[in-house]
């Protein structure tokens, strides 16, 4: 019998500390008015070194909340897939660290590196595994501690990026619905628009130029901005067309939260009113692969999603990578 992948629980976890735009005025040459007008961000969460807010901690807390909502015990998980570009360590994977923390003994665990598209890529891997019959119950996580790779001297990026985690429990179910389809794209020729400058095998630590500050994120924001709207609109249209749906059939769009103007441009292109687009960028900034699962969890807990609703997830990020997925909500 054909199996379908349904989201049966969501969870999220945010660091306690709030960094306001005013606080950033003390660090770089910026101001609240510019940040709000150009990005839509008013505040963001930054993890602490002393509290339990590492990538693994945030991912584990978000996962525990999603499992609790789903009524699934960690021992039932067959697979844990984590989208992240800021793991606690290069290896082992964050997936394995979460597996240990949750005591999910029988799960296969690994990470997916797809920039801000990490969660959607991970969700697609799980959807495929469930449809193939190789996985019954899975945990999909998007988590970032971008504060660890931000260049705090670069006003073009440090005002945008932040930390957080979101998770979803996905189950194999015979009923139709759940994840209807996923559509993924990449363009590696444009990797230099957004990348981590170092901290890899390419430049062994001993050879570091002292002027290169390791792990710092570099971004060419303006060309990314223009491509983001076009790529997200195109892939969303592909996902809608694949399912014979139009923008009017979508109850809620849960987009990657990189910039409110990107989200507005996407909504405009799809002719979907902003009232049907979930945004929380104002409070959390851009948490990369975590934005979509955090927003999905908030929308779910606020009761904005009803059984049978069509939900459009759409993303764009480093790689470049982008993608869209349509869900028929079944909780
Ligand atoms: N405060 C004040 N001024 C700033 C600033 C800040 N934090 N950051 C940049 N500026 C300045 C620039 O130096 C530039 O000044 P100049 O004209 O004197 O050179 C001016 O503002 C305009 O910069 P620009 O980069 O053209 O602005 P923008 O309208 O493109 O907005 C971003 C900048 C980063 C907000 C926007 O490009 C963006 O959101 N990009 C996409 C991010 C993204 O999608 N990332 C990938 C997916 S996660």
Q: How far apart are CA 293 and CA 227, in angstroms?
A: 23
pLDDT in tens, 103-127: 999 999 999 999 999 999 999 999 9
pLDDT band at 50 (very low <50, low <70, confident <90, very high): confident
pLDDT at res. 280: 98
pLDDT attached to residue 135: 96
The verdict on the CB of residue 218 being under 6 Å from ligand 1 is no
The active-site residue, picked from 4, 183, 216, 256, is 256
For residues 97 and 56, is the Cβ–Cβ distance under 8 A?
Answer: yes
Closest residue CA from atom 36 of ligand 1: 221
Q: Is 216 an active-site residue?
A: no
> Does residue 96 carry a catalytic annotation?
no
Contact 282, 42 (CB under 8 A): yes
Q: In what helix (H) or strand (E) does residue 79 lie, and over which residues does it extend?
A: strand 79-83
Measured by CA distance, the residue closest to atom 46 of ligand 1 is 317
Q: How many domains does the chain have?
A: 1
Quick check: CB of 34 below 6 Å from ligand 1? yes
The tokens describing 153, both together, are 């001297």
- Return mean pLDDT, the chain: 95
Round to whole Å and give the CA distance between 83 and 5. 18
> Which of 105, 173, 96, 95 lies closest to 133, judged by CA?
173
At 8-22, the pLDDT tens digits run 999 999 999 999 999
Q: What are phi and psi of 81, to 5 degrees?
A: -125, 125
Q: Which two tokens stand for residue 247?
A: 């923008």
Q: What pLDDT, on a 0 to 100 scale, did the predictor assign at position 158?
A: 95
Q: Does an H or E element contain 166, and which?
A: strand 163-173
Annotated active-site residue 158? The verdict is: no
User: What is the CATH number for 302?
Assistant: 3.40.47.10
293 Cβ neighbours under 8 A, 6+ residues apart: 10, 12, 62, 119, 140, 141, 142, 165, 166, 167, 168
| 135 in contact with ligand 1, CB cutoff 6 A | no
Ligand 1 close to Cβ of residue 21 (< 6 A): no
Question: Ligand 1 within 6 A of 221 CB?
Answer: yes
Q: In angstroms, rounded to a whole number, what is the distance separating the alpha carbons of residues 52 and 124?
A: 29
pLDDT digits (tens, 9 = 90+) for 196-244: 887 666 665 555 555 555 568 999 999 999 999 999 999 999 999 999 9
Share of the chain above pLDDT 70, in %: 95
**In angstroms, rounded to a whole number, what is the distance separating the alpha carbons of residues 143 and 62?**
9
Query: Which residue in 96, 116, 135, 231 is the catalytic one?
Result: 116
Residue 279: give the domain boundaries. Answer: 1-331
Over residues 80-93, the pLDDT tens digits come to 999 999 999 989 99
Q: How many residues can be counted in the chain?
A: 331
> In the predicted model, what is the mean pLDDT of residues 294-317?
98
């Amino acid at each position: 019998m054909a199996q379908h992948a349904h989201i049966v629980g969501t969870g999220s976890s945010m660091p306690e500390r709030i960094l306001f735009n005013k606080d950033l005025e003390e660090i770089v040459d910026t101001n609240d008015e510019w940040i709000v007008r150009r990005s839509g961000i008013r505040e963001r969460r930054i993890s602490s070194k002393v509290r339990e807010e590492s990538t693994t901690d945030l991912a584990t807390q978000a996962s525990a909340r999603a499992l609790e909502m789903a009524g699934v015990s960690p021992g039932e998980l067959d697979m844990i897939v984590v989208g992240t570009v800021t793991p606690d360590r290069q290896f082992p994977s964050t997936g394995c660290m979460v597996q240990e923390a949750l005591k999910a003994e029988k799960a296969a665990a690994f990470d997916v590196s797809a920039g801000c598209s990490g969660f959607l890529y991970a969700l697609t891997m799980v959807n495929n595994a469930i449809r193939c019959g190789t996985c019954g119950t899975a945990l999909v996580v998007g988590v970032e501690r971008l504060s660890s790779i931000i260049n705090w001297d670069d006003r073009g990026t440090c005002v945008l990026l932040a930390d957080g985690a979101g998770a979803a429990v996905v189950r194999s179910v015979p009923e139709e619905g759940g994840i209807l389809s996923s559509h993924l794209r990449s363009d590696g020729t444009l990797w230099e628009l957004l990348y981590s400058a170092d901290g890899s095998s390419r430049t062994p630590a001993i050879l570091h130029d002292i002027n290169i500050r390791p792990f710092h994120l570099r971004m060419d924001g303006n060309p990314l901005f223009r491509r983001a709207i076009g790529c997200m609109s195109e892939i969303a249209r592909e996902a809608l067309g694949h399912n014979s749906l139009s923008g009017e059939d979508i109850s809620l769009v849960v987009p990657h939260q990189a910039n409110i103007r990107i989200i507005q441009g996407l909504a405009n292109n799809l002719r979907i009113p902003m009232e049907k687009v979930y945004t929380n960028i104002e409070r959390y900034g851009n948490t990369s692969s975590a934005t979509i699962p955090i927003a999905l969890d908030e929308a779910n807990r606020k009761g904005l999603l009803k059984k049978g609703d069509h939900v459009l997830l759409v993303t764009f990020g480093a790689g470049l990578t982008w993608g869209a997925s349509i869900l028929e909500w079944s909780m």
